Amino acid sequence: MRWLLCASAVLLSSGAWADAPRVATDIAPVHALVSIVMDGVGSPDLTIPPGATPHSYAMRPSEARALAGADLVVWVGPALTPWLNEPIETLAGGAVHLTLQDSAGTEVLENRSGVAFEAHEHAHDAHDMDGHDDHADHDDHADHAADSDHDAHTDHDDHAAEGGMDPHMWLDPVNASFWLGTIAEALAQIDPDHGDTYRANAAKGQADLAALTATLETELAPLQGRPFVVFHDAYHYFEARFGTEASAAISLSDGAAPSAARLTELRHVIEDANAVCIFTEPQFNPGLVAALDGDGRLKTAALDPLGAGLTLGATLYPELIQSLAASFVDCLSDG
């Protein structure tokens, strides 16, 4: 009887997972969105660990094998990880490739350049998460992608071409909501037996993100117009969605210290804008903040665009957006 119970448990377990498509994802936030859609059916694989730099990551053998065995590859696209294009083509040539930067409904922002950022008007509705593109015409995604060479920890340098695609699209929860629907349809095409589950999971995820976005709109509304500086320019999508836009970025190239001339100009920007906060990142050089904040009046808080400190899985994406909002409230609020 004990053997029969164990055998039954094994059969039930394999029945729940054996028919699940094999899905490879690029970064942890995309892995989280796919996990939401696949809930109850299977679990995706992650190619780039959260603590790694997407721009130049060297895959481990296990990650290459997962990519080679994939039925579906879901990635932001070459704007974020141009190096990943060749492995996807060679290792996963027989898989379906879902490039999220090109998916319908995705709002794309251009890279910001220079030291001081100009304020921009972004026409979008934070509650429009029904899968229709009411933002802009993005038929030129492929052209912009060819001009981009950025990642979530490495942004454009001082000589980056204006007009290139900012690759940090997942930090707008409205983009993430569109992507849930796109991911569900891609999975339903290759696994129609679970199509209803994928679509239902996506719909629930979209409703949850709509509620989260509405809540954060209320929490962040009082912070609009409060001037701040980011360590590097990775958060434009989040800023634009919630109306809290940076005045400048310390560095536009991860791993390379800003020049003395740039620091001098940044000090002028901070003074002229009367900035109240500098947002750091886990890898930041504290000496740079000290050099910009001679009198120690600026508040600081940490931001992380990939959620390196969060648990992988379906909860990572909403927790990532909530953690960004919490840091904004902490650093930009009065008191």
Q: What are the domain boundaries of the chain?
A: 20-121+141-216, 222-332
- pLDDT at res. 101: 97
Q: What is the pLDDT of residue 7?
A: 35
Residue 121 has which token pair?
A: 């008007």
**What pLDDT sits at residue 37?**
98
Residue 314 near residue 209, CB atoms below 8 Å: no
Q: Are 84 and 111 in contact (CB under 8 A)?
A: no
Q: Which pLDDT value is given to residue 119? A: 57
What tokens were used for 164? 């290139």
DSSP 100-128: GGGSTT----BPP-SSBPPP------TT-
Per-residue pLDDT, averaged over 178-182, amounts to 98
Q: What's residue 173's pLDDT?
A: 98
Angle 82-34-196 from CA coordinates, rounded to 5°: 135
pLDDT tens digits, one per residue of 116-148: 886 554 545 433 444 433 333 333 333 333 333
DSSP code of 70?
-
Q: What is the band of 282 on the pLDDT scale with cuts at 50, 70, 90?
A: confident
Mean confidence (pLDDT) of the chain = 82
| CB hemisphere CA count around 46 (13 angstroms) | 21
Q: Which helix (H) or strand (E) holds 142?
A: helix 141-146
Using the CB atoms, write b or e for 240-279: b if 16+ within 10 Å. Answer: bbbebbbbbbbbbbbeeebeeebbebbeebbeebebbbbb
Indicate the range of 29-43, 93-107, 242-256 predicted with least confidence.
242-256
For residue 250, give the DSSP letter: E
Give the 3-state secondary structure of 150-189.
Answer: CCCCCCCCCCCCCCCECCCHHHCHHHHHHHHHHHHHHHHH
pLDDT of residue 252: 63
* Cβ atoms 111, 150 nearer than 8 A: yes
Is the pLDDT assigned to residue 64 strictly greater than 50? yes
pLDDT above 80: residue 257: no
**Calpha distance 245→223 (Å, rounded):** 10
SS3 245: coil
Q: Which fold, 20-121+141-216?
A: Rossmann fold (3.40.50)
Judge contact between 154 and 171, C-beta under 8 A. no
Classify domain 222-332 at the CATH superfamily level.
Answer: Nitrogenase molybdenum iron protein domain (3.40.50.1980)
CB 271 within 8 A of CB 309: no
Least confident segment among 41-55, 58-72, 119-133, 187-201: 119-133
User: How many angstroms separate the CA atoms of 25 and 35, rounded?
Assistant: 10
Q: Which stretch of 12-21, 26-35, 41-50, 85-94 has the lowest confidence by average pLDDT?
A: 12-21
Alpha helix locations (H) across 274-315? 286-292
Q: Do residues 23 and 96 touch, judged by C-beta distance below 8 A?
A: no
Same-fold call for 20-121+141-216 versus 222-332: yes
pLDDT tens by residue, 69-120:
999 999 999 999 999 999 999 999 999 999 999 999 999 998 887 778 865 5
